[in-house]
Chains A and B, each alone.
Chain A
Amino acid sequence: MTGKNRLLDVRGLTVEIETRRGPAVIVDGIDLHVDKGETLGVVGESGCGKSLTMLSLMRLLPNKIRVAKGEAHFDGRDLQKMSNRELRKVRGGDIGFVFQDPVTSLNPVMRIGDQLAEPLIYHRGMNRKQARERAIELLRLVGIPGPEERIQAYPHELSGGMRQRVMIAIGLACEPKLLIADEPTTALDVTIQAQIVDLVKGLREKLGMSVVWITHDLALIAGLVDRVVVLYAGTVVEDAPVDALYASPRHPYTRGLLASIPKLSDAPASRLNSIGGTPPEPGRRPQGCPFAPRCPLAMDICRTHVPKLEPVSAAGSHRAACFAVEKALEAA
């Protein structure tokens, strides 16, 4: 095991799906770790396996999808080996969750106040009244106006962004050691995004909370996270401290992503940059580097061998999986 400071340690996590042609690998042996008090950003193309990675940690994978290999230690204990009872204690308690899809994860026939109170009663032993007070406070913290009245609302009576903030409030309800948030702010405008980011930062300082923030919004996390992991086709292709990632992205995929971001300061142009092509599907991934079919720098070796995640900085804190890292640097 690694040092005392490690809160979450995922090793060689492999997630497979059953298909007619046999099992297909979706998440391909990824390593992830989060230290106490650290905030990790996870970015990557739509469909690359971000949500399934997170769901597998909590053993909430859908039918036909399972963890084939790997370990996931939380606070020194293997989540994959816990009994269901132990796991229920952790889920929503020490590990707070914000799911990507508020519509499926909120109960449509239950008032949101009750949905917020539930984990507080179960995990924190509060009585109804205390839980209600805390629910109101949580809604206020995520910036929902008139929280005393809104706790009576059903999910369909809220706007999309309000539902998303209710999800965030539920994730934070028990003041978890680790918050795992999957695209938690896609429906929020910039001012409220900023408020949520400040709230999470505040809790991190106050409680030493660790955070895994899954997102496609590279601008949003710039001011929030300490480190970023870039996923592509179920593998980690780059792992770097946030400043290094934006200042000198090394993997061609990361560069492509950063180049695709429209910026307010850009002159309005008619077309945006995008990485050509589509990511490979699980079960149909190419041999060699998974990015090779779309990579502007691809060489013969990329089509036959899989590049390993290797340090690219002297300190070793910045790693990338690419045969052309030096070349990528020159192309900058």
Chain B
Amino acid sequence: MAAEPLLKIENLVKHFHVRLGAFGERAATVHALDDVSLDIVEGETLSLVGESGCGKSTTGFTILNLHRATSGKVLYKGQDLTALDEKRMRRFRRDLQIVFQDPYSTLNPRMTVGEASGEPILFHNLAPKAELEAKVAALLTDVGLPPRFASRYPHELSGGQRQRVAIARALACQPKFIVCDEAISALDVSIQAQIINLLLDLQEKYRLTYLFIAHDLAVVRHISTRVGVMYLGRLAELASRDALFETPLHPYTKALLSAVPETDPEHERSRKRQILEGDVPSPLAPPSGCRFHTRCPIAMEVCRRVVPKWKEARPGHLVACHAVNGE
């Protein structure tokens, strides 16, 4: 990548300390994120995919300093965000937004939809008070909600409507970078399409950058510039959209791609999907060496012992696997 990245993530690690046992007598560590490095280029959509619990949300939270990194760096405009306390972080907050995976937990139940989406506009002085109502109305219309919804409370909305309020709130700040954590997964396909189109339009207009976390690979293929595949807290593969979908290199990516459902009942019923044998290992005790070795169809002896290097197998195509040769 020639362009200077908007965000540079270096060896990011996030461990959670939890207590186990009936009385919480045993301490344990959840390896949610281990040694993740990647550049996010201005104006691109970088998607993160991977099994539930592999650390996608944790990546988003840690980049935005909503979780404190255990180690590693996140560079934004030359500043390491992980070194900032919340007070000094505040001036970056407007630029760096997130649409949370569970909108219900993050919308203030006592704030109307209008207040929730108008608050960032007031807080950051993005419009005079007199124009606020019109701004909020425009935002709501953008996400497919009638402006009248401004007077409703979150509990008076359906699941998908709440998700769209969360999107409107993030867009209200006119940010540079948005983490969209399963931001459209509760929406029906037609509204999903409308929101995707909106995100793409805004990107074109303002050079917005997205970290797009999603499990729907068809949507990911549609929206992404590049795609990163995570497995148990580590990046397994990172490549341009076309390279990832057309010539995946990592055995885990290959398995993931073969599991996508299609709208053909006949085909769906007869299809063999369970290519991945074995359970997902626990992040409390991740496997040694390559974390995928317990389920990898081509695992070798070395995979059990040695962590595969994160290397560029082809130009711009990074992968961590002993069976793939670097260039």
Query: With contacts A157-B30, A189-B50 known, what are 13 further pairs, Cβ within 8 A?
Result: A47-B157, A145-B53, A145-B282, A152-B20, A161-B52, A189-B51, A189-B215, A191-B273, A191-B276, A216-B189, A222-B264, A224-B268, A264-B245
**Nearest CB of A to B271, in Å:** 7
**Nearest CB of A to B60, in Å:** 11
Compute how far the CA of A194 lies from the CA of B146 in the bound complex, rounded to whole angstroms: 36
Asked if B222 and A46 sit within 8 Å, CB to CB, the answer is: no
* B128 at interface, CB cutoff 8 A: no
Residues 156-182 of A contacting B (Cβ, < 8 Å): 157-162, 164-165
Asked if A260 and B189 sit within 8 Å, CB to CB, the answer is: yes
* A192 at interface, CB cutoff 8 A: yes
Asked if B265 and A187 sit within 8 Å, CB to CB, the answer is: no
**Nearest CB of B to A270, in Å:** 7
* A153 at interface, CB cutoff 8 A: yes
Binary flags per residue of A258-287, CB closer than 8 Å to B gives 1, else 0 = 101111111011111111001001000000
B146 interface neighbour in A159, A193, A278, Cβ under 8 Å: A278
26 inter-chain pairs at a CB distance below 8 angstroms, sorted by A residue, are A43-B188, A46-B158, A101-B104, A102-B102, A103-B102, A103-B105, A145-B279, A146-B282, A149-B282, A149-B284, A152-B24, A157-B18, A158-B53, A162-B52, A183-B159, A186-B186, A189-B215, A216-B160, A222-B263, A260-B190, A260-B192, A262-B216, A264-B217, A272-B192, A274-B191, A278-B146
Compute how far the CA of A29 lies from the CA of B218 in the bound complex, rounded to whole angstroms: 36
Asked if A62 and B264 sit within 8 Å, CB to CB, the answer is: no
B222 interface neighbour in A102, A190, A224, A272, Cβ under 8 Å: A272
Asked if B148 and A281 sit within 8 Å, CB to CB, the answer is: yes
Binary flags per residue of B188-205, CB closer than 8 Å to A gives 1, else 0 = 111111101100100000
Compute how far the CA of A149 lies from the CA of B19 in the bound complex, rounded to whole angstroms: 10
| Residues of A bordering B, CB below 8 Å | 43-47, 50-51, 62, 100-104, 140, 143-146, 149-150, 152-153, 157-162, 164-165, 183, 186-195, 198, 216, 218-220, 222-224, 242-243, 246, 256-258, 260-266, 268-275, 278, 281
Asked if A47 and B102 sit within 8 Å, CB to CB, the answer is: no
Contacts of B280 in A (CB 8 A): 143, 145
Q: 10 nearest interchain CB pairs?
A: A223-B268, A161-B52, A46-B160, A146-B282, A274-B193, A216-B188, A272-B193, A189-B215, A145-B282, A260-B189
Asked if A190 and B217 sit within 8 Å, CB to CB, the answer is: yes
Contacts of B256 in A (CB 8 A): 189-191
Known: A145-B282, A246-B263. A159 touches B53 (CB 8 A): yes
Give the one of A144, A146, A192, A262 with max B CB within 10 A: A262
**Nearest CB of A to B186, in Å:** 5
Compute how far the CA of A187 lies from the CA of B57 in the bound complex, rounded to whole angstroms: 11
Compute how far the CA of A331 lies from the CA of B53 in the bound complex, rounded to whole angstroms: 45
Asked if B51 and A160 sit within 8 Å, CB to CB, the answer is: no
Asked if A261 and B263 sit within 8 Å, CB to CB, the answer is: yes
Asked if B215 and A187 sit within 8 Å, CB to CB, the answer is: yes
Contacts of B313 in A (CB 8 A): none
**Nearest CB of B to A268, in Å:** 6
* B297 at interface, CB cutoff 8 A: no
Asked if B187 and A216 sit within 8 Å, CB to CB, the answer is: yes
Compute how far the CA of A257 lies from the CA of B187 in the bound complex, rounded to whole angstroms: 12
* B261 at interface, CB cutoff 8 A: yes
Compute how far the CA of A165 lies from the CA of B285 in the bound complex, rounded to whole angstroms: 21
Known: A162-B52, A257-B189. A149 touches B159 (CB 8 A): no
Asked if A194 and B273 sit within 8 Å, CB to CB, the answer is: yes
Residues 160-208 of B contacting A (Cβ, < 8 Å): 160-161, 164, 181-182, 185-194, 196-197, 200
**Nearest CB of B to A284, in Å:** 9
Compute how far the CA of A145 lies from the CA of B294 in the bound complex, rounded to whole angstroms: 13
**Nearest CB of B to A41, in Å:** 11
Contacts of A140 in B (CB 8 A): 279
Known: A190-B256, A260-B189, A268-B222. A153 touches B274 (CB 8 A): no
Compute how far the CA of A59 lies from the CA of B151 in the bound complex, rounded to whole angstroms: 27
Compute how far the CA of A46 lies from the CA of B216 in the bound complex, rounded to whole angstroms: 18
* B49 at interface, CB cutoff 8 A: yes
Known: A186-B182, A272-B196. A51 touches B158 (CB 8 A): yes
* B241 at interface, CB cutoff 8 A: yes
Asked if B185 and A149 sit within 8 Å, CB to CB, the answer is: no
Known: A102-B102, A186-B182, A186-B185. A157 touches B190 (CB 8 A): no
Contacts of B216 in A (CB 8 A): 262
Compute how far the CA of A216 lies from the CA of B191 in the bound complex, rounded to whole angstroms: 10
Known: A162-B52, A189-B49. A218 touches B189 (CB 8 A): yes
Asked if A271 and B200 sit within 8 Å, CB to CB, the answer is: yes
Asked if B51 and A191 sit within 8 Å, CB to CB, the answer is: yes
* B219 at interface, CB cutoff 8 A: yes
Contacts of A153 in B (CB 8 A): 18
Contacts of A160 in B (CB 8 A): 52, 57, 101-102, 181-182
Asked if A103 and B104 sit within 8 Å, CB to CB, the answer is: yes
Contacts of B257 in A (CB 8 A): 264
Compute how far the CA of A162 lies from the CA of B102 in the bound complex, rounded to whole angstroms: 13
Asked if A262 and B49 sit within 8 Å, CB to CB, the answer is: no
Contacts of A195 in B (CB 8 A): 274
Binary flags per residue of B77-108, CB closer than 8 Å to A gives 1, else 0 = 00000000000000000000000011011000
Contacts of A220 in B (CB 8 A): 261
Contacts of B51 in A (CB 8 A): 189, 191-192
Contacts of B155 in A (CB 8 A): 62
Compute how far the CA of A183 lies from the CA of B188 in the bound complex, rounded to whole angstroms: 10
**Nearest CB of A to B248, in Å:** 13
Asked if A159 and B52 sit within 8 Å, CB to CB, the answer is: yes
**Nearest CB of A to B20, in Å:** 5
